[in-house]
Amino acid sequence: MVRKVTRTPLFLYLGIFIAAMSLVFFILHKSVKNIPCANTLSCKESLELSVNNDEQAVFNAEKIDPPKIDLLASSEEKKVLGIESSTGDKHIYVDLGTQTLKAYEGETLFLETKISSGKWFPTPTGDFKIWRKVRSTKMSGGQGADYYYLPNVPYVMFFSNSVVAGSRGFSLHGTYWHNNFGHPMSHGCVNMRTIDAQKIFYWTDPPPNEDESVPTENTPDVLITIYGEAP
Amino acid sequence: MEKRRNTFFLTLILVGTLITAGLVFWSSFRVKTSSTPTESLAANSNTLVVSETETKEEVLAPNGKMTLILRNVKKADGTTAQTFSVISEDEVTPLQIYTLNSGTDNSISIPFNTFSPDNKFIFLKKGQSEKSEYMVLRTDGKNIKGEDKTVEFTSLFYEKYPEFVITDVTGWGGTGLIVVNSNYLDGKMGPSFWFDLSGFSFIRLSTKFN
């Protein structure tokens, strides 16, 4: 009598396990590499200085005339607003819960104002440093009714830390396409009134000697602390 | 005999003095009583003049290129004369765009996000209660619709959406889009709307603007 022995196909289970693990690693790898930028359509482009005075902006399906940017006039602004009067470390606090920003120089409050944080994509929380400042850039992203195309975004201060890479394009910047501050309204950046962004732009280090600037080893750090939960 | 005469004269002088003093006191009391209303009116009149106070509020547009000036003159009768003017950064003289005489309950206040992003319009809040009214007007002083300087859009909203209550009007979602938040009548969270100035109509949104 021949007894039929059914062998457990161990190699088959092993193969399925390896395949599943490979799939998981592949998905994780792709998702880490493809973490969306604050501006999905202009991810790299939005990190550069750009002035497009002849283009129209689009936001909330409306066409908007962006403010004309004159880089020569910016040099006059530097003389007026870029005055060094450091009396302590500069620290910017952004409270997502109250949608407010406070900027301190030591113990002295330099500016307090309302902002708009991320609505369509969350603004990251944590401690950040400014890694690049540009007088103006272009930002675009979104889809369908949420599509936006914004040339001449003024007074842009990109921030990053060890978790949120600079290439993701999160920044503090001026805003000309809405006026709904105190309420989330952005795609991840911290929207500010242009008059407030201008003050912070010339107040923070590195001083904008050119229309774009990158901190060096000797540049004092400006810490940006973003905390709380947006409504 | 002479002593009795002196006593008589002294008594006469004393009585005369007392009568005179009494007459003076009585007449002065009468004068005071009769003059009281006149003095009171005069005093009130002075108070009226002193209590008329003027305050001024200035709000800068987000791009810093225009300022809205509100001049409040509070009158003695409790009403307030409110005058709204705007001035651009390259102008010297403010342009008066709206005036209103209002009571204490329905005076107009300026919301933080009053200016449209292009500075062509402002929206204002009338009254402080839950039934506040919101209005929009142009900053160039021209009529916004037909013969009207303002469009009060709260009543327009309730005509079209009686099932909702406006909870807040927060600002501008675009150059011609005012953000209106609402609740259902039972208090549940309702949707957000645009009040679209291109047609003075409401657009119900799928996104809630908190």
Query: Choosing among A117, A179, A200, which should be mutated to test the B contact, i.e. which has the most B CBs within 10 A?
Result: A179
Q: At residue B41, does pLDDT exceed 60? A: no
Judge if the upstream peptide bond of residue A184 is cis by omega within 30 degrees of 0.
no
Residue B24 lies inside a defined structural domain of this protein: no
Does A194 lie at the interface with B, CB-CB under 8 angstroms? yes
- Which of the residues B58, B63, B210 would you substitute to probe the A interface, choosing the one with the greatest number of A C-beta atoms within 10 Å? B63
Q: Please check whether residue B192 is in contact with residue B207, taking contact to mean a CB–CB distance below 8 angstroms.
A: yes
- pLDDT at position B74 is 87
pLDDT average, residue stretch B127-134: 83
Helices A194-203 and A71-81: angle between axes, nearest 10 degrees: 70
Please provide the CATH number assigned to the domain covering A38-227. 2.40.440.10
Counted domains in chain B:
1
Q: One of A29, A37, A43, A173 is an active-site residue; which one?
A: A173
Classified as helix, coil or strand, A33 is helix
pLDDT of res. A225: 97
Q: Is B111 part of the contact surface with chain A (CB cutoff 8 Å)?
A: no
Look-up: residue for tokens 């005069």?
B42
**B130 within a domain of the structure (yes/no):** yes
Distance CA B151, CA B164 (A): 20
Read off the pLDDT of residues B176-203 as tens digits, 9 standing for 90 and up. Answer: 999 999 999 999 999 999 999 999 999 9
User: pLDDT grade, residue B11 (50/70/90)?
Assistant: low
**Cβ-based neighbours of B167, under 8 Å, separated by 6 or more:** B181, B182, B183, B190
Q: Chain A within 8 Å of B172 (Cβ-Cβ)?
A: yes
Short-list A206, A36, A208, CA closest to A121: A36
Bridge-based pairing of strands A62-64 and A57-59 is antiparallel
What stretches in chain A show pLDDT beneath 50? 30-34
**Residue B184 counted as domain residue:** yes
Q: What is the pLDDT of residue B90?
A: 87
- What DSSP character marks residue A174? E
The C-alpha atoms of residue A88 and residue A222 are separated, in whole angstroms, by: 11
Residue B35 lies in a domain: no
CA-to-CA distance for B210 and B196, rounded, in angstroms? 19
Could you tell me which of B52, B69, B73 has the C-alpha nearest to residue B60? B69
Asked if B118 has any chain A CB less than 8 Å from its own CB, the reply is yes
Q: Answer whether residue B1 is part of any domain.
A: no
pLDDT at position A81: 61
Question: Are residues B174 and A62, on separate chains, in Cβ contact within 8 Å?
Answer: yes
Q: Does A149 touch chain B (CB under 8 A)?
A: no
Q: Would you call A183 a catalytic residue per the annotation?
A: no
Whether residue B76 has pLDDT greater than 80: yes
Residue A206 CB contacts under 8 Å (≥ 6 apart), including other chains: A133, A213, A214, A215, A216, A219
* Better-scored residue on pLDDT, A205 or B32: A205
Look up residue A208 and give its amino acid. P
Q: Domain map of chain A by residue range?
A: 38-227
In this predicted structure, the answer to whether residue B32 has a pLDDT above a threshold of 90 is no
In a domain? residue B13? no
A64 touches chain B (CB under 8 A): yes
A91 in catalytic set: no
Task: With respect to residue B136, please indicate whether it lies within any of the assigned structural domains.
Answer: yes
**Identity (one letter) of the amino acid at A83?**
I
B54: left (phi over 0), alpha (psi -120 to 50) or beta: beta
Residues contacting A148, CB < 8 A, separation 6+? A57, A58, A59, A60, A139, A140, A141, A142, A177, A187
Cβ contacts of B171 on chain A, cutoff 8 Å = 178-183
Summarize pLDDT for A93-145 with one digit per residue, the tens: 999 999 999 999 999 999 999 999 999 899 999 999 999 999 999 999 888 88
- Tell me the chain A residues in contact with residue B113 when contact means C-beta distances shorter than 8 Å: 179-182
B209–A60: do the CB atoms touch at under 8 Å?
Answer: no
Q: Is the pLDDT confidence value at B22 over 80?
A: no
CB pairs under 8 A between A and B: 74
How far CA A150 is from CA of A62, A67, A174, B28, in Å, comes to: 11, 11, 11, 84
pLDDT for the residue numbered B135: 96
Residue A82 buriedness (CB in 10 A; 0-12 / 13-18 / 19+): middle
Q: Is the model's pLDDT at B97 over the cut of 90?
A: yes
Element (H, E) at A57: strand A57-59
CA distance B160 to chain A (A): 23
Distance from CA of A64 to the nearest CA of B (A): 7
pLDDT value at B104 more than 70:
no
Question: Which domain, by its residues, includes B152?
Answer: 53-204
B175 contacts A183? CB cut-off 8 A? no
Q: What pLDDT does residue B35 have? A: 36
The pLDDT of residue B5 is 63
Contact A182 B210 (CB under 8 A): no
Contact A212, A49 (CB under 8 A): yes
Q: A125: how many CB neighbours lie within 10 A of its CB?
A: 17
In a domain, residue B122? The reply is yes
